[in-house]
Amino acid sequence: MQKRKLGKSNLEVSALGYGCMGLSFAYGPATDKQEAVDLIRAAYDRGVTFFDTAEVYGFRANEELVGEALEPFRKNVVIATKFGFDLENFPGLNSTPKHIKKVAENSLKLLRTEVIDLFYQHRVDPSVPIEDVAGAISDLIQEGKVKHFGLSEAGAKTIRRAHSVHPVTAVQSEYSLWTRDPEAEVLPTCEELGIGFVPWSPLGQGFLTGKVDASTTFDPNLDLRASFPRFSAEALKANQPVLDLLNAIGKRKNATPAQIALAWLLAQKPWIVPIPGTRKLHRLDENLGAADVQLTASDLGEIEETFSKIKVEGERLSKEHMALIDQ
């Protein structure tokens, strides 16, 4: 597995990480615990050294799972987790310095570790100045409990303000061929400041794998996509041209649409590290195979030109989720 550095930091990780969220919640019932542990360890055996979790995933269940799975080789991996939600008043936010420090202590215990490699603010809390958040992380770094500071779904201005107090190592936001929002301001800001970028949902929450179509149903009690406009039957049907594009390039490259989608992200910048998640071993192998797919300048130009003629239908998240995004 190739390695990449997140921006100008010294944080080196595998070119593709592993997003652990879906093992515990969001896209259906939780995976059997032993199966989930085995899958995380299989990712490690295949060269993945970057694992992503958060306090809110399964209300701490995911951190506990990741802690158990990675304990035998803790020193060889980078674990990223997140603070910022108020679990007692969910989906309320809480990024007060006192709360951040409390979450850090909980995460350290659940992850069975003495230090969190990368600690992201999960969503920007408009009631707490970002300078105070950066200050709290700076304290935790001084205490040796955290190594790197990250932001998730933060806007360019917030990134700059935070970075002026304590260097931001990575920004994590949704980014894929059909969700291009970060390209306008966030990616140029990261490039200018030397910050790494970690696309979550690099496979468009499953759509870019080609395994989701207008006939797919989502359980409103267990699957967040049931409330996302882009996953309505009409939108899925209207967005089929995105998949047609990936399939056309894939056929030529002897690769799956998922592999083309991931290879496209890897080709954007050398400091971009996607974190696809999966519950199946064969999908893990498929995703990791994307690191070997080489897209030429001509391939990338063709993708860009074809995509420019496609209008993606539907907002990427529900109104409630979009209200938490820092503009």
Residues annotated catalytic, as ranges: 57
Distance CA 268, CA 265 (A): 5
The Cβ of residue 157 has, within 10 Å, a number of other Cβ atoms equal to: 13
Q: Is the dihedral of CA 213, 268, 266, 172 positive or negative?
A: negative
What is the distance between the alpha carbons of residues 299 and 245, in angstroms, rounded to a whole number? Answer: 11
Which amino acid appears at position 287 of this protein?
A: N
**Contact present, 7 and 17 (Cβ < 8 Å):** no
